[in-house]
Amino acid sequence: MRAATLISRVFTPTLLLAVLYSVVGALAVGWVGVAWSLVGMVFTVAIPAAIVDVGVRRGRYTDHHLSRREQRAVPLGLAATSVLVGLAVLALAGAPRAIVALQVAVLVTVLVVTAVTLVWKVSLHVAVVGAAACVLTLLGGGWWALSWLAVPVVGWARLRLTAHDLAQVVVGCVLGALVSGAVLVIAGVASLP
């Protein structure tokens, strides 16, 4: 149980997105891309994390993982709004296409997962891990494909903690990977192998 808790904390969506943005920025345009990724992280990581943190401290949400499905709509909706504002900022400021595409991928993934989670709980952890693995594989290729190994590890952790059932874990991965991958391909920053 301790290992599953640690894995869930290390691979929490906000932390994983912070790492993903930095890597995508570096893959896209080197260190300049990392600087651009910080802008995306403000709207995709910092603001949504603050929204959840304030909600937990005020008793609106049970925990930072938004474990109760019925508590997810408002913070995920606010997160989507923040990501959308970040997208506008990045696009208007002339950010690299890969960073803008990643912002769009995160926005569409949040919207799709939120729509599903209104009626059925899906694993946000595994959705983000699946999305990250897909993005890294499409943009980095080669050794970055090993990032897929994190998917079953995180899936196991979420199952072990009884946070989700197997279907919720699998659907989370499929949604995260398909939506993010499709956005990158449509945006023209990645192509299918």
Find the helix packing angle between 47-57 and 73-93, rounded to 10°: 160
pLDDT tens profile 131-160: 999 999 999 989 999 999 999 999 999 999
User: Residue 137 has what pLDDT?
Assistant: 95
Q: Is residue 47 part of a domain?
A: yes
Q: Is residue 55 part of a domain?
A: yes
Q: Is residue 14 part of a domain?
A: yes
Give the C-alpha separation, 133 to 128, whole Å: 8
Structural domain harbouring 149: 2-186
Q: Is residue 108 part of a domain?
A: yes
pLDDT tens profile 92-143: 999 999 999 999 999 999 999 889 988 999 999 999 999 999 999 999 989 9
pLDDT tens profile 170-183: 999 999 999 999 99
Which of 112-145 are b and which e, b meaning 16 or more Cβ less than 10 Å from the residue's Cβ?
bbbebbeeebbbbbbbbbbbbbbbbbbbbeeebe
Q: Is residue 32 part of a domain?
A: yes
Which residues neighbour 65 within 8 Å (Cβ) at sequence distance 6 or greater?
A: 8, 12, 124, 125, 163
Q: Is residue 58 part of a domain?
A: yes
Q: Is residue 192 part of a domain?
A: no
Domain count, the chain: 1
Give the C-alpha separation, 88 to 154, whole Å: 32
| H/E stretch holding 82 | helix 73-93
CB 115 within 8 A of CB 158: no
